[in-house]
Amino acid sequence: MIHLCTRDSRPLEHVNTQYRKTAMAAHNGSQLKRLILWTLGLLALKNMSAVHSISTSEKQLYIVYMGSNKIPHALGITAETHSDLLSSVLGSAATGKTALVHSYIHGLNGFSAMLSASEAAQLSEMPGVVSTFPSVSCSLQTTRTWDYMGVNLDGESWTSTNFGKDVIVATIDTGVWPEHESFDDEGMDPIPEKWKGECETGQSFPEFYCNRKLIGARYFSEGYEAIWGQINTSDPTVSLSPRDTEGHGTHTITTLGGSRTTNVSFQGTGLAVGTARGGASNARVAAYKVCWPGSCQTADILAAFDMAIHDGVDVISISLGASAIDYFYDSIAIGAFHATDKGILVVAAGGNSGPSKATVSNGAPWILTAAASSIDREFLSDIHLGNNVTYSGPSLNTEKIDPNVYPLVDAGNIPAQNITSTDARMCGPDSLDAKKVKGNIVVCVPGDMLGINYPEVEVYDKGGVATIMVDDELKSYAQVFRHPAVTVVSQGVGSHILSYINSTRSPVATMTLSLQYLGIPAPIAAKFSSRGPNVISPDVLKPDLIAPGVSILAGWSPAASPSEDPSDIRTFQYNFLSGTSMSTPHIAGVAALLKAEHPDWSPAAIKSALMTTATPLDSKHNQNSHGDLTWGSGHIDPKGAIDPGLVYNTTSGDYKLFLCSMNYTDSQIRVVTGTDTAHVTCPKARVSASSLNYPTIAASNFTNTITVVRTVTNVGAPTATYRAEIDNPAGVRVRVSPDVLNFTPDTEVLSYTATLEPMDTQPWLKNWVFGALIWDDGRHRVRTAIAVGPTVDSPFF
């Protein structure tokens, strides 16, 4: 499993130095592991985390989770109660106060503090404490690249929702660029009265930046500062305020709820021209900033959830993630649990660790987990070679070099002194001979060294005209580079180009401006999108839904580098990015529209509506994918979701039983759910997570017949008759009883059982297989995806 998140990410300056050093080491012949450069500029080099581990006696930032603030003994909790508890372990009131970093009191009960491992262990034994765990740093779930697209919501069916009017949507992210035109509030009504949030002032963020569109903005830096020291307010690249200097937060919040802005295009070039708007363009937005250079601490994220619950938001979109861990040790799962309990739907990014299985994170069943797919648009530029052969590749080439023809060189043939040809071809820092780069188009094969922007930086630093990068993975989407004339081609095309260079005395080429192509087969699941099964609870299918997350154009912070190269000082109002970070606010935006249409629906009902109306991806265009483990119920269908017919609702009792299936003790569950003793006793018999009333049915370790109960609520016409249609997974027979559901005005809620029985052929011993149960009343098709698979410890899991 890929660790998206390490406890010890470093602030940006350190990272960049390390990044440079590592890149150099690669040229000195050492094995270079794959580098992943996140939007933030944070470098997560997988084998680098060992470099700065924290010693056990040292104090670290811990989160002490004490469950719900609803239970009687927790009522009236204050920061005081927390520092008293802390003092009882640390020995003095003064040390208790100093050690306390956050007090979570609004939406849940708990605190964070600087503790040694043994102090943390002592606290975890205290009554009322559910769990104690170190704060870790989360990553932004962005790869790189994009175009704006937005789920197509034009049409009459949306007028009743008024595009989310009065629904309050929030992001927990890198903050917001408040002057962005997407926050124009012209014509908006006064702020809904239920809003209890505020616009926190801070460095370069006076309160007047909030308006009727951007109604709230807060920042949470205590956890980060407890670890890394005070934020340097003289550093112009950081702002101790809700202001976004990274770009990611402005991108996600404008996707989620940006106002309509006409005639937007990439850098005003006419590329991707159109009207930009968020999914819920009339919704009110609020930004909760938790990311600082190099790190988004989970202790700060939990504080953001705590305040968002207090403030009265309706939907939370969080494009951050850490490795999958037990839910009571996972701040996002905990924050989302209490948000859901208060009627707030939480949509979270599933991660960018695909295409391997078992990589999905943020997979708690109360979260709506997002996967990412392409849209029907591509940006390509052509490379014409001197032999009249033309290739094309993804590119956002806005610099005109066409029709001039330039010499074409293989970077492997122009190494700098003491650099081998193999290393030169990767085009790392100072690997090329400047004299031979100048005035040429250079072909680089970065190979395993996915530093991404350094081949083009090296070529342009040394005076090159354009760069052709050979990389199969990057080939799937267009990306913004420091210098515009860059095209990416596949390994196959790359070797044709290299052999053309080798075949002639004076190889030449030209590169055209990028053009937009529509009608590309879509959606295709992004290779980077994390896959199920969910390692923490494999009997709940994850991710839940797939939505656009490749080449998305949305608002950007002019203070941020558009290409993630710190030397890139261009200012952009809109930028392209790719990732499950981008699909998350698309889904959250549609959820906000449903909330506007159906204000009384629970988060589970909204989620069910989105899932049972989703469209599974076409396997013809998605070969070598892992089916439902990649896209869950399928691609979001906003129009279908508004009128789903039936919904799978979830009560707090359902979650209690689910927690029993997770092996938590009665007392832990009592504290978490905030119910009294009498109501929480886990059944003696083992509870299966498969029986949670979820809009999909999943069973890992499927060896014997299993029966699950599901309960559906009619939200369509009061009288309706639904009949079951079954699409059996390979090697499984599904029986449904009853197979007809008659709803009347008096019978809104009905249950059925689904029995999954193994047949003689059993492909699921080796792989996951998928089917579906569809309830059809002639007007609605309520699709419940079914997934069965091998044991967790099987190599095929």
Ligand X SMILES: *[C@@H]1O[C@H](CO)[C@@H](O)[C@H](O)[C@H]1NC(C)=O
Contact criterion met (CB below 8 Å) for 553 and 267: no
User: How far apart (Å, rounded) are the C-alpha atoms in residues 321 and 372?
Assistant: 15
Binding status of residue 263 toward ligand X by CB under 6 A = yes
Quick one: 92 or 387, whose CB is closer to ligand X? Answer: 387
The answer to whether 284 and 263 have CB atoms below 8 angstroms apart is: no
Give the neighbor-by-neighbor strand order of the sheet with 315-318. Answer: 214-219, 284-289, 168-173, 315-318, 345-349, 368-373, 545-548
Contact with ligand X (CB under 6 A) among 649, 661, 673, 690: 649
Residue 234 touches ligand X, criterion: CB under 6 A: yes
Task: List the beta bridge partners of residue 770.
Answer: 787
> Which of residues 31, 55, 506, 704 is near ligand X by CB under 6 A?
704
Q: By CB under 6 A, is residue 713 in contact with ligand X?
A: yes
173 is catalytic: yes
Interface with ligand X, residue 502, by CB under 6 A: yes
* Residue tagged 């008759």 (tokens): 721
SS3 of residue 410 by DSSP:
strand
Instruction: Give the phi and the psi of residue 132 in degrees, each rounded to 5.
Output: -135, 125
Q: Rule CB under 6 A: which of 599-628 touch ligand X?
A: 600-602, 605
Closer of 92 and 663 to ligand X (Cβ): 663
Number of chain residues interacting with ligand X (CB under 6 A):
29
Q: Applying CB under 6 A, which of residues 160, 567, 703, 747 lies at the interface with ligand X?
A: 703
Q: Does 505 bind ligand X (CB under 6 A)?
A: no
Least Å distance, CB 794 to ligand X, is 9
Residue closer to ligand X (CB basis): 81 or 204: 204
Q: For residues 337 and 332, what is the distance between their CA atoms, to the nearest angstrom?
A: 8
Q: Which is nearer to ligand X, 193 or 793 (CB)?
A: 793
Nearer to ligand X, 124 or 602 (CB): 602
Kindly indicate which of the ranges 253-261, 466-474, 647-655, 732-740 contains the residues binding ligand X, using the contact rule CB under 6 A. Answer: 647-655
From candidates 53, 92, 152, 499, binder to ligand X by CB under 6 A: 499
Nearest-approach distance from CB 764 to ligand X, in angstroms: 13
Q: How far is CA 561 from CA 20, 250, 339, in A?
A: 18, 13, 33
CB distance 534 to 540 below 8 Å: yes
**Which of these ranges, 240-248, 263-271, 547-555, 569-577, lies near ligand X under the rule CB under 6 A?**
263-271
Which CA distances in Å does 700 have to 489, 540, 603, 736?
39, 9, 26, 20
Locate the DSSP E strands across 700-745. Answer: 706-714, 720-727, 732-737, 740-743
Closer to ligand X by Cβ: residue 238 or 320: 238
Q: Among 154-162, 194-202, 596-604, 687-695, which window interacts with ligand X (CB under 6 A)?
A: 596-604
Would you give the distance in Å from CA 379 to the centre of its chain? Answer: 23
Q: Which of 203, 390, 404, 651 binds ligand X (CB under 6 A)?
A: 651
Quote the least distance from Cβ 325 to ligand X, whole Å: 12
- Return the half-sphere exposure (C-beta side, CA atoms, 13 A cut-off) of residue 358: 19
Which of the residues 27, 106, 180, 248 is marked catalytic? 248
6 in Cβ contact with 44 (< 8 Å): yes
Regarding 235 and contact with ligand X (CB under 6 A), the answer is yes
Contact 140, 38 (CB under 8 A): yes
Residue 701 contacts ligand X per CB under 6 A: yes
Question: Any contact of residue 56 with ligand X (CB under 6 A)?
Answer: no
Single residue of 29, 420, 792, 796 touching ligand X by CB under 6 A: 792
Q: Shortest distance, CB of residue 153 to ligand X, whole angstroms? A: 22
Instruction: Return d(Cα 496, Cα 256) in angstroms, integer.
Output: 43
User: Does 232 sit near ligand X (CB under 6 A)?
Assistant: yes
CB of 765 to ligand X, least distance (A): 12
Which of 53, 356, 387, 719 touches ligand X by CB under 6 A? 387
* 791 near ligand X (CB under 6 A): yes
> By CB neighbour count within 10 A (0-12 exposed, 13-18 middle, 19+ buried), where does 17 fall?
exposed
What is the distance between the alpha carbons of residues 161 and 151, in angstroms, rounded to a whole number? 15
Residue 753 sits in the site that holds ligand X (CB under 6 A): no
Locus of tokens 């879509």: 522
β-bridge mates for residue 574, sequence order: 555
The DSSP letter of residue 789 is -
CB 534 within 8 A of CB 792: no
Q: N- to C-terminal Cα distance for the chain? A: 12
CB of 541 to ligand X, least distance (A): 17
CB nearer to ligand X: give 102 or 710: 710
Block residue for tokens 């003689």: 760
355/429 with CB nearer ligand X? 429
Stretch that binds ligand X, among 96-104, 180-188, 194-202, 231-239 (CB under 6 A): 231-239
CA distance 749 to 434: 73
The catalytic position among 9, 102, 131, 173 is 173
Rounded to whole angstroms, how far apart are CA atoms 762 and 177?
54
Q: Is the dihedral of CA 651, 656, 657, 659 positive or negative?
A: positive
DSSP symbols for 598-624:
-TT--HHHHHHHHHHT-BPPPGGG-TT
Stretch touching ligand X by CB under 6 A, among 246-254, 421-429, 495-503, 720-728? 495-503
DSSP letter assigned to residue 443: E
CB 417 to ligand X: min, Å = 4
Instruction: Give least dist CB 106 to ligand X, A.
Output: 21
201-220: contacts with ligand X (CB under 6 A): none
Quick one: 55 or 704, whose CB is closer to ligand X? 704
* Contact in structure between 287 and 216 (CB atoms under 8 Å): yes
Dist. CA 359–CA 371, nearest whole Å: 11
Q: Is 461 a catalytic site residue?
A: no
Q: How far is the CB of 13 from ligand X (least distance, A)?
A: 8
Q: Which is nearer to ligand X, 261 or 373 (CB)?
A: 261
Tokens coding 89: 């372990």
Nearest to 347 by CA among 359, 357, 355, 339: 339
Residue with smaller CB distance to ligand X, 69 or 701: 701
Does 268 contact ligand X by CB under 6 A? yes
Please identify, using beta-carbon distances, which residue of 316 and 452 lies nearer to ligand X.
316
Shortest distance (Å) from residue 445 CB to ligand X? 10
Among 417, 506, 619, 623, binds ligand X (CB under 6 A): 417
Which is closer to ligand X, CB of 571 or CB of 703? 703
| Residue 15: φ, ψ to 5° | -60, -45
Which residue is catalytic, options 137, 373, 581, 625?
581
For the CB of residue 59, give the shortest distance to ligand X in the complex, in Å.
21
CB 110 within 8 A of CB 223: no
Binder of ligand X out of 443, 547, 611, 715 (CB under 6 A): 715
Residues numbered 660-699 forming contacts with ligand X, rule: CB under 6 A: 663
Q: How many CB atoms lie within 10 A of CB 463?
A: 14
Q: Tokens representing 553?
A: 């154009």
The reply on whether position 506 binds ligand X by CB under 6 A is no
Write b or e for each residue in 245-265: b if 16 or more Cβ atoms lie within 10 A of its Cβ, otherwise e: bbbbbbbbbbbbbbbebeebb
Which residue of 253, 647, 687, 699 would you call a contact of ligand X, by CB under 6 A? 647
Residue type, 153: L
**At closest approach, how far in Å is the CB of 654 from ligand X?**
9
Does residue 760 bind ligand X (CB under 6 A)? no
Which positions touch ligand X (CB under 6 A)? 232, 234-235, 263, 268, 270, 387-388, 417-418, 498-499, 502, 600-602, 605, 647, 649, 651, 663, 701, 703-704, 713, 715, 791-793
Residues that are catalytic: 173, 248, 581
